[in-house]
Chains A and B, each alone.
Chain A
Amino acid sequence: MTLKKILELLKADSLCISDSQCMERNFEHISATDLMSDALALVQSDSEKTILVTGLVHAQSLRTAEMLDINVVIYVRGKTMSETDYNLAKEMGMNVFTTKSSMYDTCGILYSNGLLTAVV
C-alpha cells in the first residue's frame, strides 16, 4: 500500500519530510513497538517496505530506524518532535509522521487493511 494511503487511513500529519517521493512508495510491513531493542532484534522484513510505528518520541526511535535502514517513522497518540530531533531526522533522510490514534487503534487499522508484521 502506498504511504499516502496509509497516512490517509491513520489521518496522520507530517512532521518531517526528507524525501518527497516517499508518499508514492509501497509499504507492506509494520514494526510497532516502544522498545527499541525489540525492533533491533525482531525486524526481518525488507527495510524499504517497512514502517516503524512507535510511541517513543526520542532521538533513539530515529536512530533505531536509521540502523535498520528504515526511513519512515509514525508516532502514535499525537506526539510531535522537538526541533533538535527534526534536524536530526533531516540529517538522516528520515520521513516522520504523527497520528492521533493510540498504538492499539493504529495497529488495528493497519492490520485490517492488509499490512503485515515486520517480524517474519
Chain B
Amino acid sequence: MEGKKKRVAQVLIFTAAVCMIAFGVYRGEVSTVFTKAVNVCLECIGLG
C-alpha cells in the first residue's frame, strides 16, 4: 500500500485503537486484566 491511502489507513487504525483502549478502560477491563495478571492463571500453566 502506498502514499496517501497508507496514511489514511494508519490514521484510521490508530484512532480506532485509541477509541478501543478508552472504551476498554471505561467498561472496567483494566481491573479484569490486572486481577488476571496478579494471580496464578491455572489455564496458562496447564492446570486449569
Pair from one complex: no
Q: Which residues of B contact A (CB under 8 A)?
A: none
